[in-house]
Amino acid sequence: MSLESITENVDEAVSGFFEPIAKWLGEIVFYAVPVGGTDLPLIVAWLVVAGLVFTGWFGFIQLRKFRLAIDVVRGKYDDKDSAGEVNHFQALTAAVSGTVGLGNIAGVAVAVSIGGAGATFWMILCGLLGMATKFVEVTLGVKYREVHADGTVSGGPMHYLPKGLAERFGKNGKTFGKVLAVLASIMILFFGLFGGNLFQVNQSYAQLVSVTGGEDGAMGSSAGALFFGILVAALVGIVLLGGIRSIASVTSRLIPAMAGIYIVACLVVILVNVTAVPAAIGTIIEGAFNPEGVAGGVLGALIIGFKRAAFSNEAGLGSAPIAHSAVKTKHPASEGLVALLEPFIDTVVICTMTALTIVIANPASWGEARTDESIGGVTITSDAFETVLPWFPYVLTVAVLLFAISTVLTWGYYGLKAWTYLFGRSRTSEIIYKSLYTLFAVSGSLLTLQTLIDLADAVLFSLAVINIIGLYLLAPVVKRELNTFLEYVRTRKVGGTDEDKDEEPMKTTV
């Protein structure tokens, strides 16, 4: 029996078993209600409302403290003797690597195809709101993290939910928090194996095949797929063995480099068509408030934009606090401020650059995609670059591969923390997980398992329901931590320059 027939049989068997479960859970998690001629998924509304609430609760912190966040990333307020494993910049790039990927390249193209250019405006707005949510969850992640005897750190919703709720509500809060923590760990682990690992490898392999001659090309055979899977698994396994320090070392170099190359390419397309920029911006704004050909009109464009942003930056899902918790700091809110830059980078910068490039270049495939949903998002983005840089699809392929690998690495770490919370931190337990994770990376190039990937998406967004409930209940803790850090900043700036004097602590009562 050939390798192709074996993988096809596995795909069919797995799909046949899990399809009813995936369909059932997907219908619950992504349940949509009709609004103004289109459908609004309630999970998207849940995430956006959280962003609105926390933006108001913390007085538009994403705008007022943006410069302070930059200063913290630069190391201006570092404490060298603080517990932790990585610096602020490394923690940020490790977390960003878990969100920046195919969604920024392909997902945005799909958004502006379905929701029109106006979806870009609402995508930016949702990204700005998500900054506040990210600040809250990461502050809690650092506040309630567990520093082990060997200096390593564990954090995330599986830690701040039971500890934080116990601290605020006593015995009942502790019991409720433990239940939520176990559920959160299971959800993170499941998505890590299938969404953060198998899906990323599968899609990056598909992109590689498409630029190397398709199924008849060098990488189109089952042997090519197996080679690619083993290569990725080996790379991931080596880095994963080094823990968050190793992952952060790789992502702190990889993410800025690839994001920089991608943004520069977007700017090249934009500058070559610089005369079209005002019209493109006008199209985006007009499309946001007066879209044509979009189901549901303004609401349709808004929903598509919010959906793309919410799915891209993962604000409120509880995943990013796991990476940020490893930071070296004595002030949890300092890393919360760093984390609010994450949705800005992921959504406001990279997603917007992709959308603007497509709108300005206006490739033929974008127009065709408005009526033909079979045209992939990567194709539209690639065609937009090709209008100015004929060779760039190959660079884009490299970017896709590296973004995907960085995502696999970060989710490998997330999954490890969920695994050790459930099964203990013994060396044997960690080796079992890392072996399992690398095997999934190999299978990613051979299997599609679309049903399991759909199930993983539903599971991850189920986590948002649990996590955000905890964020609401623990928001007063975050406000206290913020005031403590701002007081620390103020005392550090006594006698400083005039440009620093706007960073006074918030006058709040909790």
Worst-scoring range by mean pLDDT, 7-21, 86-100, 254-268, 395-409? Answer: 7-21
Give residue 121's identity as a one-letter amino acid code: F
Do the domain assignments include residue 498?
no
Q: How far apart are CA 132 and CA 436, in angstroms?
A: 35
Q: Kindly tell me if the per-residue pLDDT of 500 is higher than 50.
A: no
| pLDDT grade for 376, boundaries at 50, 70 and 90 | low
List the structure tokens of 340. Answer: 């609010």
User: Residue 178 domain-assigned?
Assistant: yes
Rg (CA), the chain: 22
CB 111 within 8 A of CB 123: yes
Query: What is residue 105's predicted lDDT score, i.e. its pLDDT?
Result: 76
Would residue 1 count as lying in a domain? Answer: no
Query: Token pair of 173, please?
Result: 């809060």
Contact in structure between 69 and 336 (CB atoms under 8 Å): no
Q: What is Dmax (Cα atoms) for the chain? A: 77
Please state, in angstroms and rounded to a whole number, the distance separating the CA atoms of residues 242 and 365.
43
Q: Quote the tokens at residue 167.
A: 């601290």
Looking up tokens 């320090």 gives 245
- Contact call for residues 302 and 111 (beta carbons, < 8 A): no
> Residue 435 maps to which CATH number?
1.20.1740.10
Residue 3 resides in a domain: no
How do residues 154-196 score in pLDDT, each as one tens digit? 899 999 999 999 999 998 899 999 999 999 999 999 888 888 8
Look-up: residue for tokens 């926390």?
54
What is the per-residue pLDDT across 357-366, written as a single tens digit (0 to 9) for each? 998 988 888 8
Q: Which 8-state DSSP code applies to residue 327? A: B
Would you say residue 180 lies in a domain? yes
User: In Å, how far from its chain's centre is CA 73?
Assistant: 19
Three-class SS of residue 11? helix
Average pLDDT of span 451-469: 84
3-state secondary structure of 195: helix
Determine, yes or no, domain membership for 509: no
At 157 the pLDDT is 94
How many separate domains does the chain show? 1
pLDDT in tens, 18-40: 778 888 888 888 888 887 677 78
Give the model confidence (pLDDT) of 37-60 as tens digits: 777 888 888 988 999 999 999 999
Helices assigned H by DSSP within 370-449: 377-386, 392-423, 427-444
> Are 324 and 75 in contact, with CB atoms under 8 Å apart?
no
348 part of a folded domain? yes
Q: Which domain holds residue 211?
A: 11-488
Q: Using DSSP, how many helices (H) and how many strands (E) does the chain show?
A: 23, 4
503 pLDDT more than 70: no
| Domain contains 495 | no
Which residues are bridge partners to 86 per DSSP? 327
Query: pTM value?
Result: 0.84
